[in-house]
Structure 1
Amino acid sequence: MLTRCDGEMVELYAQVSELMLAKQWFLTEGIAWVVKLVHQSPELEKVVANLVNSVNVVGVNEGIKQGFKAALGSVRSVEEVPGYDEGAQDALDTAVKAFDDLHISVLGKVADLMDKPLSVIQ
């Protein structure tokens, strides 16, 4: 009976040791690994690019509008000014919504590793 208890104790100690190693790895390297994966994710790259592009176009439109007001009389409407993008505000609104609704697929992959041993997680 004592031998069986000793075996169970050894097994429990091994499990606790594995958990301690997993916790240590997660706190020292794992979080940084996840952040790096998120930073490099194609979903984030696409959303940020769309957001930046939309902000730039809206800014250009605002400049054109101000220039149009200053040069009123030389063209009949702001839409006639070269470079004006009538859909810029809608594109910006869409990009902002996409940023707010962003789903990072790698986070699901990380969650799937919950029951895996440290060797698989690494």
Structure 2
Amino acid sequence: MLTKKWFLTDGIAWVVKLVHQSPELEKVVADLVNNVNAVRVNTRIKQGFKAAHDSVRSAKEVPGHDEGAEDALNVAIKAFDDFHISVPGKIASLVDKPLSVIKQRSELPIVKEDYES
């Protein structure tokens, strides 16, 4: 009963915190955001180029234009689609441990090394 109570009151919050702070999630989200922004910049540069066509020969000449932005975004989208997080496996490794060990483990700071072991 104590194990169930702890899991429902504190354990689930711990799992969510682990997932939220995981380096794996941080990387795929950052890659998506950065590449979406690069594609938006390219779109705006192309729109600006069309408007100022007489003064610039190519949108590629405009500072900030990233020719590989769309390819990089596609790679980031694929990485997000293939995303795998190690948190469930880390938590599953505690299944045979006593509640005192699980509680102690859940109170440790969440650091990158936690995911590399």
What TM bracket, shorter-length normalisation? 0.7 to 0.9
* TM-align CA RMSD: 1.1
Q: Which residue among 99, 103, 106 is the counterpart of 1:118? A: 99
1:58 maps onto 2:39 in alignment: yes
Matches for 1:11-50 after TM superposition, within 5 Å: 20-50=1-31
Larger Rg: 1
Structure 1 position 115, deviation (Å): 1.9
1:98 maps onto 2:82 in alignment: no
- The normalised TM-score by structure 1 is 0.79
Structure 1 stretches of at least 4 aligned residues deviating more than 3 Å after TM superposition: none
Structure 2 regions of 5+ residues with no counterpart? 104-117
Structure 1 regions of 5+ residues with no counterpart? 1-19
1:84 maps onto 2:65 in alignment: yes
Give the letter aligned to residue 50 of structure 1: D
User: Identity of paired residues, percent?
Assistant: 77
Distance in 2 between the 1:33 and 1:60 partners? 38
Distance in 2 between the 1:36 and 1:22 partners? 19
Structure with greater helix share of residues: 1
Q: How many residues align?
A: 103
- The normalised TM-score by structure 2 is 0.82
